[in-house]
Amino acid sequence: MRADLEIIEQWIKPGSHVLDLGCGDGTLLDYLQREKQATGFGLEINPEHITSCMGRGVSVIEQNLDTQGLKNFEDQTFDVVLMTQALQAVRRPDVVLDEMLRLGREGIVTFPNFAYWRLRWYLVWRGRMPESETLPYKWYNTPNIHLCTFKDFEALCHRKKFRIKNRTVVDGEHQDRWFSALWPNMLGQTAIYRITRE
Amino acid sequence: MQLCSLAIKLQGWHDGGFRFIIVVQKTSKPFCFRPTVDLIQDTVASMPDFHSPDSVGVVTPQTLHFGDPITLACGQTLPAYDLVVETYGELNENASNAILICHALSGHHHAAGYHSEEDRKPGWWDSCIGPGKPIDTSRFFIVSLNNLGGCNGSTGPGSINPETGKAYGPSFPVITVKDWVQSQALLADRLGIHCWAAVVGGSLGGMQALQWSLSYPDRLRHAVVIASTPRLTAQNIAFNEVARKAITSDPDFYGGRFYDFNTIPRQGLMLARMVGHITYLSDASMGEKFGRELRDQAFKFGYDAEFQVESYLRYQGERFSETFDANTYLLMTKALDYFDPAYEFDDNLAAALKQSSCEFLVLSFSTDWRFTPARSEELVNAMIAARCKVSYAEIDAPWGHDAFLIPTPRYTDIFTAYLGRVAREVGA
């Protein structure tokens, strides 16, 4: 399992009811179901991923956050709402964050940090939109339409009065390195946040 | 010079299976042979292959007699009845690998394989049932029946009422989805199956799968509900009413006692089927199949079937009227209309679903306007609210409601993946 998922997994209590927005092939939910007796759903739009989820016994709903929203889910029906590496690809990340905390007691979000030093260097040195292993697209075909930095995300949380319960950063190999914590906005490649309204 | 191009198309039918049809397409205007739709139907080139490794081969239906009375939702009791059943594959030692197939409005027990080596077409869901197919007969034991009230051998309005020595006709009780599920549970008892690995159905069959989860929550592990709905809309009921009115207003219907007059309400059944058939297809699939094509080159300024689509519908209607029982058609459409599990729960579907404990797979098709994806989503949302385990996908397919009978790559992949996991779960 990816290292960022291993970090997230530690934040989820056994028996939790979980909603995973953009659940991919269902790896994390599958793990949570088996190891933590978690229940819940994944939302996904990629047909191959949906099939994979069904094949491994993960409950998956084909639903597009941008066009269908999350109105079919009732308030406070989940312990945790997850969104890994998808916040930057939705049309209104701020609305999705509101929705996550409407549905669940807490939200866990991971996204690529656009202020990572390599990306900064790419832009300064080459004068072009950064491309990297985690952001392997051109500016015109990228699904990542709302990239942000650690500071941007925290500013949004502050404005919306979300409480940040935990945050951590990982590098390209999704490893939690001691030095990234020193200057996360510069040295962290992927941000992992655990937020709540409480 | 090539005048015509020959195409072989796979065509699915709401009432039964698929067949290959040879379509001769005009490529240059003069001298081209233009077949009528009827001719296409008559020259159907189905390719039966009993020896194909993914066919269940030749199968023999069996009639099971049930001597204990069954009390129905309408309050009436049937003292005894027969159910015609086909099974494919083998039941394992602990009877954990059984799958029940529930048929739709005009379906029956013959879901897969052939009845003889002369049989021209396989069972209605042969594309999905067989060794290595999504409903894999090398892993599962599959049970398919003709429902009570049907006209393919199970006791129905056309059967002889032992009390009178005459056909039941209109005195045959109206059967509901709940009644079917009750009779299917008694069938399961007879076959030694306490818990189905899955109950699977499309359309009206999907309603039965859903009803199973509510009536007998501990007797199935999975319910697969395809192209279905938790209840009919006013428009759905309206179409059914037109079909019923067509049948009951046929002078040959004789109030349902046409058996006694040695006739059948041919015109009424034909009309009922024609209107029904329109709702099974999509505008796009009809357009692709027929467009505005004429049987002959020019308008005739008369009222005969001139457009290909007209002659196709007439052919479908006529064929259907010769094989299907009018009273059964009335009964099946009424069962559709009445189905509404939320009714007893103040229209709260989620509350109804709280009775269930199985896992669900719900599938819809993008161009299905009879039971739209929105109806499936309504069901899925109620399942989410009831904290059921449910997976849902909307499959992109151009064929309207009939898409549930047509194997497309994504449909097949999902079905295979889901049932593969069910097989692992039950040790099949």
| A53–B contact, CB cutoff 8 A | yes
| Chain B residues with CB-CB distance to A75 below 8 A | none
* pTM score: 0.90
List, by residue number, the catalytic residues of B. 203, 368, 401
CA distance A47 to B411: 10
CA distance B7 to B288: 14
**What average pLDDT does the structure give for chain A?**
92
CA-nearest residue to B382 within chain A is A72
pLDDT for residue B20: 38
Q: Do A39 and B381 touch (CB under 8 A)?
A: no
pLDDT for residue A186: 84
pLDDT, one tens digit per residue, over B273-318 is: 999 999 999 999 999 999 999 988 889 998 888 999 999 999 999 9
Contact predicate B97/B424, CB 8 Å: no
Band of pLDDT at residue A188, cut at 50, 70 and 90: confident
CA-nearest residue to A42 within chain B is B391
**CB contact residues (below 8 A), chain B span 409-428, against chain A:** 410, 413-414, 417-418, 420-421, 425
pLDDT, one tens digit per residue, over A48-90 is: 999 999 999 999 999 999 999 999 999 999 999 999 999 999 9
| A113–B contact, CB cutoff 8 A | no
Q: Do A62 and B393 touch (CB under 8 A)?
A: yes
* Cβ-nearest to A59 among B391, B394, B425: B391
Distance (Å) from the alpha carbon of A179 to chain B's nearest alpha carbon: 42
Q: Do A39 and B420 touch (CB under 8 A)?
A: no
Query: Rounded to an integer, what is the distance from CA A7 to the centroid of its chain?
Result: 12
pLDDT for residue B37: 36
Band of pLDDT at residue A163, cut at 50, 70 and 90: very high
Q: Which amino acid is at B328?
A: T
pLDDT for residue A6: 83
pLDDT for residue B48: 60
Q: How many CA atoms lie within 13 A of A124 on its CB side?
A: 7
Q: Do A72 and B377 touch (CB under 8 A)?
A: yes
Give the H/E segment covering residue B23: strand B18-26
Beta strands in B103-170 (DSSP E): 129-130, 135-136, 141-145, 160-161, 166-167
Rg (CA), chain B: 22
Regions of chain B short of the pLDDT cut 70: 1-48
CA distance B329 to B316: 15
**CB contact residues (below 8 A), chain B span 322-381, against chain A:** 359, 361, 377, 380-381
pLDDT for residue A172: 61
CA distance B235 to B172: 27
pLDDT for residue B15: 42
What would the 3-class secondary structure string for chain A be?
Answer: CCHHHHHHHHCCCCCCEEEEECCCCCHHHHHHHHHHCCEEEEEECCHHHHHHHHHHCCCEEECCHHHHCCCCCCCCCEEEEEEECCHHHCCCHHHHHHHHHHHEEEEEEEEEECCCHHHHHHHHHHCCCCCCCCCCCCCCCCCCCCCECHHHHHHHHHHCCCEEEEEEEECCCCCCCCCCCCCHHHHCCEEEEEEECC
- End-to-end Cα distance, chain A: 30
Band of pLDDT at residue A5, cut at 50, 70 and 90: confident
pLDDT for residue A183: 77
Band of pLDDT at residue A2, cut at 50, 70 and 90: confident
